[in-house]
């Protein structure tokens, strides 16, 4: 096997992947990134090296690549050719929900996969797809070490007050609590601040991870103090197709008055709400920003409104805000959203530098702003690669100790 680590982030119809080389000591060098999408419909595999040069660009018919195992086989076939017949020494995976049991990256075993499958109902859009390639590799390449890296793990150090719901103790003990998600992204931002903005790294920072899935996190001294998401990935901010914060009585109304079944409600909340439900047009912020439709404007205004409200809430958890960070697809690439949010934070002393915002500068606040506002591109894959490397090193150390 080659001295490389493969990182996989699997979705419902795509598998994104990156390959990292171990470059001496504890270093990692990104060798390539790619994805295979359109699985089961119009499968398309593309990968580029670190310079952006295309290494593979291939398509197949839907029946040729009907599901995740076949898609993964195509990726492995390409990697073996790229690596001269070798395979990576380990594979790191993003797994959205780790529940109570998993508060750190974990080497995968069949027993662990079985435990992680019990959380499928808590993240039905993500967990089954995250686990599909893990199970495929366990079956086809069981000698390769796999590491599961959890989006919930970074938040597990929350104070109890932040984790609790006002429900009886037995439910809390069995795991009904606020977990928080997008932890790999927030962990990266916290680590990146140490070099990009050392004056903020140990301060009070609110991070907005804004994409198709969206959440916010209060970072205090580099640690998660509180976050917008809770027991499942439905809570907090409105998202592309998910509603965000919702009165639980609405679910009772759908059950009792509308006669919907639990599976119907699940599909509705995960697929038909959020920006898509508000606008009636699209779940894509780019489409909504480019539309003159009143409902599109409503959806954008609502999105910004909830971000501003959550900023105030997380600021209260931190007892102040020193900095605000935008990240993820929308946060990194939508100046209009950033501008609208910062204007809503003027009461906190936030002031935008319009030109810096339009050109996507690292710092987009003005020199007069009391809060430093930054844009930082997230890198969840790098965090997964680092965690995988650390798990490999720990396993090697345990083996050495056992042999002594």
151 is catalytic: yes
Catalytic residue among 151, 226, 235, 353: 151
* CA separation for the pair 383, 173 (Å, rounded): 30
Closest C-alpha among 243, 270, 265, 267 to residue 254: 265
Closest C-alpha among 137, 132, 46, 148 to residue 87: 137
* CA separation for the pair 13, 44 (Å, rounded): 11
Counting Cβ atoms within 10 Å, is residue 112 exposed (0-12), middle (13-18) or buried (19+)?
A: middle
Counting Cβ atoms within 10 Å, is residue 287 exposed (0-12), middle (13-18) or buried (19+)?
A: middle
Tokens of 236: 């907090």
Active site residues: 151
């Amino acid at each position: 096997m080659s001295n490389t680590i493969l990182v996989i982030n699997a979705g419902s119809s795509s598998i994104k992947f990156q390959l990292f080389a171990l470059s001496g000591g504890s270093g990692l060098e990104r060798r390539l990134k790619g994805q295979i999408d359109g699985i089961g419909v119009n499968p398309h595999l593309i990968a580029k090296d670190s310079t952006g040069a295309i290494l593979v660009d291939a398509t197949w018919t839907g029946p040729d690549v009907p599901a995740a195992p076949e898609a993964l086989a195509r990726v492995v076939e390409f990697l073996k050719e790229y690596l001269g017949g070798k395979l990576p020494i380990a594979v790191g995976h993003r797994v959205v929900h780790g529940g109570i049991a998993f508060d750190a990256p974990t080497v995968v075993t069949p027993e662990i996969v079985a435990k992680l499958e019990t959380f499928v109902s808590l993240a039905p859009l993500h967990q089954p797809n995250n686990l599909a390639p893990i199970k495929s590799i366990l079956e086809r390449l069981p000698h390769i070490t796999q590491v599961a890296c959890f989006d919930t793990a970074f938040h597990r150090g929350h104070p109890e007050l932040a984790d609790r719901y006002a429900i009886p103790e037995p439910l809390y003990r069995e795991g009904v609590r606020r977990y928080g998600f997008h932890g790999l992204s927030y962990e990266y931002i916290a680590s990146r601040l140490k070099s990009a903005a050392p004056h903020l790294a140990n301060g009070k920072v609110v991070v907005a991870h804004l994409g198709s899935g969206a959440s916010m996190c209060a970072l205090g001294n580099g640690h998660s103090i509180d976050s917008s998401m809770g027991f499942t990935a439905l809570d907090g901010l409105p998202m592309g197709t998910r509603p965000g914060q919702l009165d639980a009585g609405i679910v009772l109304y759908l059950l009792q008055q509308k006669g919907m079944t639990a599976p119907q409600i699940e599909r509705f909340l995960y697929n038909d709400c959020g920006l898509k439900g508000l606008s009636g047009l699209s779940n894509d912020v780019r489409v909504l920003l480019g539309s003159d439709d009143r409902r599109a404007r409503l959806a954008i205004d609502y999105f910004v409104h909830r971000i501003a409200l959550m900023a105030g809430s997380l600021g209260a958890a931190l007892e102040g805000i020193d900095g605000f960070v935008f990240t993820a697809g929308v946060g990194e690439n939508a100046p209009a959203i950033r501008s609208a949010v910062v204007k809503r934070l003027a009461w906190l002393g936030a002031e935008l530098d319009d030109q810096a915002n339009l050109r996507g500068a690292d710092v987009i606040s003005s020199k007069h702003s009391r809060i430093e506002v930054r844009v930082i591109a997230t890198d969840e894959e790098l965090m997964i690669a680092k965690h995988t490397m650390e798990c490999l090193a720990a396993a090697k150390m345990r083996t050495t100790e056992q042999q002594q």
